[in-house]
Amino acid sequence: MGKKISVLVVDDSATVRQVVSGILSKDPEIRVMAVASDPLFAMEHMKKEWPDVITLDVEMPRMDGISFLKHLMATRPVPVVVCSSLTASGAETTMQALAAGAISIVTKPKLGVKQFLEDSSANLVDAVKAAAQANMKCVRASAASVATPQQKLTADAILPAGSHAMAQTTERIVAIGTSTGGTQALESVLTALPRVSPGMVIVQHMPEKFTAAFAERLNSVCAVEVVEAKHNDRVIPGRALVAPGGRHMLLKRSGAQYYVEVIDGPLVNRHRPSVDVLFRSVAKFAGPNALGIIMTGMGDDGAVGLLEMRQAGARTIGQDEATCVVYGMPKEAVKRGAVQHLVPLNLIPTEVGAFG
């Protein structure tokens, strides 16, 4: 067996520290090196041993998680998984953490934390393992997954394959799928786009209640309008629709107009929203009028859907390994022959502009 992933758990709740360390310690690939009630105690542990990953609460006494995270990113970057409460204030604070360089989010409610974390143990373990693979050079330069042990479903569970795309329209659709490391990558792409850009539909793996805050943050810094998608929202030039956490988003067409459906349904590739579901719907209803982009992320969600887009005549690109925080999703798409071109993150806006 290779070297275990060493994890430092930082949370002011003794219950959370106990449960998180217990869950992680059960995995044979993970070693909890220490627990700390706040960042100052954490730094004492880090003087003795540097962790591979930190799980970090953001609301703590003496020093808050955001300040600690910024200090780490400025001095010696380390992959950080944020543990945040399922509240509006928790979501807003977590957006600040992601902008500061955190890799991903694990949610926790105000009440019933112990049972919730135990029920979400696979999510927590997967988040730590993904963070351990992160390319921190990319995080530093730019600064849900939701996994369960159940059967891995495909997009067939939501939408059957097949094409209803118009041969040619004047409207162009850009579909983007991303996961771990995607919040910073998406901000880099969307802030570089002019107001007059093709309509965009985006799946970023993120827990329920966090996508609204994420979209609001992007909207405040982008020329294009960025909103969390609602059922029947139109896809129009200058607007980016972000799939809400906990719901699937599908592209549909009525005449020459595109709109989205936001629906419930089972986890696909252990995710909801799923990139594969979005990409399949884009292949089916937009075909050659679409550009598919698969970006940084753990796992293979979106690889099959991007291949279906390419087979339907869409243009497809993937973020290259050098600029990915985690080169998982693009790598799997390349393996399947879904990607026509690999491009670095800074050139993706140019691809979008050329397509539109």
> Annotated catalytic sites, by residue?
179, 205, 301
Q: How far apart are CA 253 and CA 86, in angstroms?
A: 34
First to last CA, the chain: 49
Give the Cβ contact number of residue 26 at 10 Å: 10
- Give yes or no for a contact between 298 and 133, defined as CB atoms under 8 angstroms apart: yes
**Nearest alpha carbon to residue 320 among 329, 330, 310, 328:** 330
Sign of CA dihedral 249, 93, 187, 192: positive
Coil, helix or strand at residue 331: helix
Q: Which helix (H) or strand (E) holds 302?
A: none
Give the Cβ contact number of residue 166 at 10 Å: 15
- Give yes or no for a contact between 245 and 209, defined as CB atoms under 8 angstroms apart: yes
- Give yes or no for a contact between 210 and 91, defined as CB atoms under 8 angstroms apart: yes
Instruction: State how far the alpha carbon of 187 is from the alpha carbons of 91, 198, 223, 292, in Å.
Output: 17, 16, 11, 17
Q: How far apart are CA 20 and CA 41, in angstroms?
A: 17
- Give yes or no for a contact between 184 and 166, defined as CB atoms under 8 angstroms apart: no
Q: Which residues pair with 253 in a beta bridge?
A: 258
Residue 17, both tokens: 């520290």
